[in-house]
Amino acid sequence: MKVILAAISLIILWSLTPLAIKWSGEGPGYLFGVLARMSLGLLGVVPVLFIRQTPLALDPNALLSYVAGAVQIFGSMWLTYWASQHIASGWIAVVFGLTPLLTAPLAHSFLGEASLTPLKLLSYILGLLGLALIFQSALNLSNASAMGIAAVLLAALGQAISAVWIKAIHRQLDGFVQVAGSLLIAVPLFTITWFLLDGTMPGHIAPRSLYSILFLGLIATTFGFSLYFYILKHLQVSRVAMVTLVTPVMSLGVGHLMNHEPLHGSVLAGTGLILSGLILFEWKGAPKKGLSPARSQGQGRLKR
């Protein structure tokens, strides 16, 4: 039950996050927005560890797990924030919806999770067709929009790689510990990136941008990533990725209602194809009795 509640909470947070990302960078710039978010996230997670009296693990496997988590927090988030300048917020969630399809081949190759079946291959075809429709719609708008879609796709791939890598290390860290360790790596990288590529402190931050940064830093980062790493600890990595099944539709609705983002027919059709592929993938790949825990410890190691 705890895992299910964590997954539902994560779906809600991830549905609100794309629009908050877009708003957070509108005034101060996307690099300052992501740096401020991750810095606040680090400041938020440290007191949680102190109150819970949970020490930060420093053994080699724990350190490697922090590096794997930083691939997502730094690499994927940097790409996502950059893309948010050029595409609608709902599109971010839709393209991230492909994460299960990107994760499954990696999980099969490195973790020995469920093999690829003909129906799963069909789900990949539907997902790719949906992505093609959305990419075509973005290309009709501008080259920058098409590049934004490509950047989010790379970000989703980075998240898939990070999840499989963490699962392969099999360190089983507490969610808050994993977040804190990964942020300790990611925040300095974001600081250096901001200093080299921007380095400008905003003189004024509009209330909408400020509230978005606070939400992303203190809630979406501190608790969102902790929830993500918590369910990643207890479920197969391909099942964790299925959280993205619900978020695209919710994020499109949030962007449309709160930011007046248009819902183009090709985007809706592409979203429908991606969701159909994910449903097909989940229908054949789902365990028979609800959410199943990760398999034996042996599959947590990379095959040699």
Instruction: Kindly state the greatest CA–CA separation across the chain.
Output: 56
Phi, psi (5° rounding) for residue 262? -70, 150
For residue 53, give every residue at least 6 positions away whose Cβ sits within 8 Å of its Cβ, in sequence order, or none. Answer: none
Question: Is the pLDDT at 102 greater than 60, yes or no?
Answer: yes
The pLDDT of residue 247 is above 60: yes
**Do the Cβ atoms of 167 and 111 come closer than 8 Å?**
yes
Percent of the chain residues past pLDDT 90, beyond the cut: 39
Provide the pLDDT confidence category of residue 242 given band limits of 50, 70 and 90: low
pLDDT of 239: 66
pLDDT at position 207, please? 92
Q: What is the mean pLDDT of residues 175-182?
A: 92
Alpha-helical segments (H) within the chain: 2-24, 30-52, 60-70, 77-83, 89-96, 99-111, 118-141, 143-169, 175-197, 207-215, 226-234, 237-240, 247-259, 265-285
Confidence tier at 237 by pLDDT (50, 70, 90): low
Q: Quick: pLDDT tens for 197-229.
A: 998 888 889 999 999 999 999 898 888 888 887
Mean pLDDT of the chain: 85
Band of residue 295 on the pLDDT scale cut at 50, 70, 90: very low
Instruction: List Cα–Cα distances, 101 to 97, 153, 166, in angstroms.
Output: 8, 11, 18
Binned at pLDDT 50, 70 and 90, residue 291 comes out as very low
What pLDDT is recorded for position 223? 84
At residue 231, the pLDDT reads 83
Least confident of 21-35, 45-59, 229-243, 263-277: 229-243
pLDDT at res. 265: 84
- Residue 297 confidence (pLDDT) above 50: no
Indicate the domain borders of the chain.
2-300
Q: Is 2 exposed, middle or buried (0-12, 13-18, 19+ CB in 10 A)?
A: exposed
pLDDT digits (tens, 9 = 90+) for 119-175: 878 888 888 898 888 888 888 888 899 999 999 999 999 999 999 999 899 898 988
The pTM of the full predicted model, rounded to 2 decimals, is 0.82
What pLDDT is attached to residue 115? 61
What pLDDT is recorded for position 130?
87
